[in-house]
Amino acid sequence: MDQSLAGKSIAILVSNGFEEAEMTEPQRALIKTGANLRTISTETGLVNGWHGKSWGHYFPVDKHLSEALGADFDMLLLPGGERSVAKLQQSAHTRRIVGHFLDAGKPIAAIDQGIQLLAIPGKLRGRLLAAPEAYRADLTAAGGKISEDALVVDDITVSALGQDQLNEFVEAVVKLFTELGSVRKAA
């Protein structure tokens, strides 16, 4: 088993209504690399996923969003889910954590509505992103550049439009996080 991310800590930022597959598929793949994944949420105790057209499973929350620090993590995963993202956008703690990752140049993977969480004014600094039409103005205003591609890997950011790209997204996330984890380990 490949343990290329052993010792690396990855934050998964979610709230009730996150797209279950957009969290669990990357999570499974990253666990196989030895990474330490932690669920950060606006919820306490358990957070409820969204699966298809109804509520899905409950997942344990490792740390409440208000108590989490970006500095405690090496990488960030932002799954989609309309309800989840809407709730996360209401929290200054979300902007604080995502802003930390953007400022520090730490790797971020965002899919579907999770891409909206990157729209922090002045923080994107020219990062190239895949983005649904509805979010493009906000991401551009935050300094991002929008690609017409459905999946984009830009230096330290992976973004994908949605579930149609989920398998490719997972592969790109594991590849990028592993490459960056190895480089930073050696440094």
Which residues pair with residue 54 across a beta bridge?
51
Closest residue by Cα to residue 25 from 77, 81, 84: 77
166, 160 in Cβ contact below 8 A?
A: yes
pLDDT at 182: 65
pLDDT of residue 180: 85
Residue 44 lies in a domain: yes
Neighbour count for residue 81 (Cβ, 10 Å): 25
Q: In this structure, is residue 90 part of a structural domain?
A: yes
Instruction: Indicate the number of domains in the chain.
Output: 1
CA neighbor of 59 nearest in space, from 41, 45, 46, 77 = 46
Q: Is residue 76 part of a domain?
A: yes
Token couple for 72:
């405690």
Does 146 fall in a domain?
yes
Contact 26, 170 (CB under 8 A): yes
User: What is the radius of gyration, based on Cα positions, of the chain?
Assistant: 15
For 89, the token pair is 């956008």
Q: What is the CATH number of the domain that holds 65?
A: 3.40.50.880
Residue 82 lies in a domain: yes
Residue 35 within a domain: yes
The reported pLDDT for the residue numbered 34 is: 94
Q: Tens of pLDDT along the chain (187 residues)?
A: 578 899 999 999 999 999 999 999 999 999 999 999 999 999 999 999 999 999 999 999 999 999 999 999 999 999 999 999 999 999 999 999 999 999 999 999 999 999 999 999 999 999 999 999 999 999 999 999 999 999 999 999 999 999 999 999 999 999 999 998 765 543 3
Q: Does 1 reside within a domain?
A: no
Q: What is the pLDDT of residue 69?
A: 97
Domain that holds residue 135: 9-182
Query: In 33-174, at which residue ranges do the beta strands (DSSP E only) sit?
Result: 36-41, 46-51, 54-60, 63-64, 75-78, 108-111, 128-130, 145-147, 151-154, 157-160
Please tell me the predicted confidence (pLDDT) of residue 183: 54
* Residue 94 placed within a domain: yes
Which of 60, 113, 124, 51 has the alpha carbon at shortest distance from 88? 113
Q: What is the pLDDT of residue 185?
A: 44
Amino acid sitting at position 95: R
